[in-house]
């Protein structure tokens, strides 16, 4: 029996490719660090049944029209804003993602970014390396306390809950806002449901952990930033477009908020002359929320299992149903 043809748009772990080879005829882009050029991608999808892709690939109607045999788009990520899910549904193409396996790793990174931003770790390290550490003085590189502070979480899903769990260890008060109340988080983690406005006004740390969609685009803009405390810190490990970056820059310059920690940007990779990169009170990371060795392997495996299930007529574990 002929195996279904699939395309992997980046080089992935060899053991995952071995697994895929058992069920599929695999073509893989040989580059690990460079995105497959769009034109090449459009040419390579013409006879495939499965597409194994990443957040750096745009899967839109144009691409789907070039792939008439496509049955499944398997994204190696929990977020899927790079995929036009409606266009896939209209063509009966299954979309899958990789939730669950990256929850703790992403919550760890979110908390690490919160700590690095509030205690000015990168600035302090640079200060030392640039020879500015000439003496010790009482107000030197002072930051904001984490223990006992109020954490506000937008998006109380799996990662939100995992973040709240970490915050409990720091005796933080936990507020959250979500499309639906999460009674489990209220009971087991002591999280309190509040309105968007209340969260912005009360939180010392505002953490964004919600999915990115048309609804959440610019969820944090001028008006929201104005509600935050001058000592507050914004942490975004979800998607860049959730925050209006120009408004954030203005709020930081005008000292409406104290600092920001960003793992994500509206356009990635972020350009080096991006104004937010010039501010000392902004800690920036290159979208590494799920980047632990073990978690990236688990994501790669799960994306492969989802894809194989779909091309062999089974229901994949994680079908995206927005
Ligand atoms: C990473 O950003 C993901 O969505 O998995």
pLDDT for 298-311, tens place per residue?
999 999 999 999 99
Mutate to test the pocket of ligand 1, among 53, 59, 74, 79 (most ligand atoms within 8 A of CB): 79
Q: Are 286 and 271 in contact (CB under 8 A)?
A: no
Supply the pTM of this predicted model. 0.97
Query: pLDDT tens digits for 240-253?
Result: 999 999 999 999 99
In a domain, 192, yes or no: yes
Tens-digit pLDDT profile for residues 168-208: 999 999 999 999 999 999 999 999 999 999 999 999 999 99
Strands (E), 126-180: 150-154, 173-177
* pLDDT at res. 111: 99
Residue 210 and residue 247 share a domain: yes
Domain assignment of residue 231, yes or no: yes
CA distances, 251 to each of 167, 192, 234, 244 (Å): 26, 27, 11, 11
pLDDT in tens, 259-275: 999 999 999 999 999 99
In this structure, is residue 320 part of a structural domain? no
> Would residue 95 count as lying in a domain?
yes
Please give the distance, rounded to the nearest whole angstrom, from the Cα atom of residue 124 to the centre of ligand 1.
29
Active site residues: 239, 268, 287
The predicted structure's pLDDT at residue 1:
77
State the distance from the centre of ligand 1 to the C-alpha of 135, rounded, in angstroms. Answer: 42
Residue 157 is predicted with a pLDDT of 97
d(CA 88, CA 60): 8
% of residues, the chain, pLDDT over 70:
100
Domain count of the chain? Answer: 2
Residues 231 and 215 in one domain: yes
**DSSP symbol at 319:** B
pLDDT at 7: 98
Residue 319 lies in a domain: no
What was the pLDDT predicted at 103? 98
**In the chain, pLDDT over 90 holds for what percent of residues?**
98
For the CA of 239, the closest atom of ligand 1 is 2
Is 83 among the domain residues?
yes
Per-residue pLDDT of 54-69, as tens digits, reads 999 999 999 999 999 9
Q: Domain check: are 148 and 207 in the same one?
A: yes
Q: Is 153 found in the same domain as 276? A: yes
pLDDT at 315 over 80: yes
Q: What DSSP designation does 22 have?
A: H
209 & 303 share domain: no
Name the CA radius of gyration of the chain, rounded.
21
Do residues 212 and 223 both lie within one domain? yes
Q: Read off the pLDDT of each residue in 110-116 and give the average, rounded to a whole number.
A: 99
Average pLDDT, the chain: 97
The domain that holds 248 is classified in CATH as 3.40.50.720
Pick the residue whose CA is nearest to atom 3 on ligand 1.
77
pLDDT of residue 214: 94
Within a domain: 321: no
Q: Which of 109, 290, 300 to mutate to test the pocket of ligand 1 (most atoms within 8 A of CB)?
A: 290
Residue nearest to atom 4 of ligand 1 (CA): 79
Best mutation site among 75, 77, 101, 162 for ligand 1 pocket (most ligand atoms within 8 Å of CB): 77
- 87 shares its domain with 182: no
Which ligand 1 atom is at minimum distance from the Cα of 97? 5
Q: Are residues 90 and 23 in the same domain?
A: yes
322 pLDDT band, cuts 50/70/90, is: confident
Cis peptide before 238 (omega within 30 of 0): no
Same domain, 73 and 107: no
* Residue 278 located in a structural domain: yes
Read off the pLDDT of each residue in 68-95 and give the average, rounded to a whole number.
Answer: 98
User: Which residues form the domain of 205?
Assistant: 103-284
Give residue 102 CA to ligand 1 midpoint distance, Å. 8
Question: Residue 232: its pLDDT value, please?
Answer: 98
Residues within a 6 A CB radius of ligand 1? 55, 77-79, 102, 289-290
- Residue nearest (by alpha carbon) to ligand 1 atom 5: 77
Could you tell me the distance, in angstroms and rounded to a whole number, from the CA of residue 101 to the centre of ligand 1? 11
Measured in Å, residue 31 CA sits from the centre of ligand 1 at 20
Do both 127 and 203 map to the same domain? yes
Contact, 187 vs 171, CB < 8 A?
Answer: no
Is residue 275 within 8 Å of 249, Cβ to Cβ?
yes
The rounded Å distance from CA 79 to ligand 1 centre is 5
| In a shared domain, residues 297 and 275 | no
Indicate which atom in ligand 1 lies nearest the CA of residue 77.
Answer: 5
């Amino acid at each position: 029996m002929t195996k279904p043809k699939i395309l992997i748009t980046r080089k992935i772990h060899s053991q995952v490719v071995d697994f895929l080879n058992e069920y599929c005829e695999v073509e893989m882009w040989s580059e690990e660090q460079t995105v497959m050029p769009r034109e090449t991608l459009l040419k390579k999808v013409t006879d495939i049944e499965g597409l194994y892709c990443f957040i750096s690939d745009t899967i839109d109607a144009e691409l789907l029209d070039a792939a008439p045999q496509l049955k499944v788009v398997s994204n190696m990520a929990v977020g899927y804003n790079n995929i036009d899910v409606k266009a896939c549904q209209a063509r009966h193409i299954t979309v899958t993602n990789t939730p669950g396996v990256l929850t703790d790793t992403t919550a760890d990174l979110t908390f690490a970014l919160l700590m690095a931003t509030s205690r000015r770790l990168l600035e302090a390290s640079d200060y030392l390396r640039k020879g500015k550490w000439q003496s010790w003085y009482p107000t030197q590189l002072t930051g904001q306390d984490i223990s006992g502070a109020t954490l506000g979480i937008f998006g109380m899903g799996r990662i939100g809950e995992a973040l709240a769990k970490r915050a409990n260890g720091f005796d933080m008060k936990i507020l959250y806002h979500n499309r639906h109340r999460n009674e489990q988080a209220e009971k087991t983690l002591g999280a309190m449901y509040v309105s968007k406005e209340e969260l912005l006004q009360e939180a010392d740390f505002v953490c964004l952990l919600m999915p990115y969609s048309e609804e959440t685009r610019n969820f944090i803009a001028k008006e929201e930033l104005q509600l935050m405390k001058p000592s507050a810190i914004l942490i975004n490990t979800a998607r860049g477009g959730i925050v209006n970056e120009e408004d954030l820059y203005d709020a930081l310059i005008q000292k409406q908020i104290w600092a920001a920690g960003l793992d994500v940007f509206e356009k990635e990779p972020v350009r080096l002359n991006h104004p937010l990169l010039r501010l000392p009170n902004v800690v920036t990371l290159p979208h590494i929320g799920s980047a632990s060795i073990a978690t990236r392997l688990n994501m790669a495996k799960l994306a492969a299992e989802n894809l194989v299930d779909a091309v062999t007529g089974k229901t994949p574990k994680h079908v995206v149903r927005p």
